[in-house]
Amino acid sequence: MKCPYCGEIDTRVLDSRAAQDSSAIRRRRQCAVCANRFTTMEKIEEEPLVVIKRDGRRELFDPGKIIKGLILAGQKRNIPLSLWEEVVENLEQELRSSYIKEVSADQIGATLLKRLRSIDEVAYVRFASVFHQFPDVEAFKDELEDMLFEKEQLKKQGRL
């Protein structure tokens, strides 16, 4: 590892510790020439996860964009940021564990909608209105009626 102070390549590791939920290793090093100490992080290089947008464009998976959308959907709903972060982290883990390299934005949105429904109905409706791009009020009304019907069925079955 190259010393950031003098550029010497000969450095030695003084200490190693797990960092970031054991997904990285933090190493404390010392330069053999100038004796300065510095810290490095060793992390697994992950394959990029690519999102295919509706218009066919491809972009890297960005958890921050999803969290922003969820925060907007849950605005003024008293939903903690930690819950949104957990939802997005679970989504990313699920996608990566399926070994797919490309996923459509529609698949991501549908998965998020399923999870939102059990978290907060208002956030679900807000997110659905953007995700489904309802052409008119009638289409939006139909979605709400479907949601109310399913809720009523769950009540009858004693699962709500």
Q: What is the pLDDT confidence band of residue 140, given thresholds at 50, 70 and 90?
A: confident
Alpha helices in 5-135 (DSSP H): 63-73, 81-97, 105-119, 121-131
Does the pLDDT of residue 22 top 80, yes or no?
Answer: no
Please give the average per-residue pLDDT across 141-152, as a whole number. 88
Per-residue pLDDT tens digits for 68-96: 999 999 999 999 999 999 999 999 989 98
Please give the average per-residue pLDDT across 117-127, as a whole number. 91
pLDDT in the model for residue 154: 84
What are the domain boundaries of the chain?
A: 11-43, 50-150
Q: Nearest CA to 24 among 4, 2, 3, 46?
A: 46
Return the percentage of the chain with pLDDT > 70, whole number.
99
| The model's pTM | 0.67
Report how far residue 103's alpha carbon sits from residue 51's, in angstroms, rounded to the nearest whole number.
5
Does the pLDDT of residue 57 top 90, yes or no?
Answer: yes
Report how far residue 103's alpha carbon sits from residue 48's, in angstroms, rounded to the nearest whole number.
11
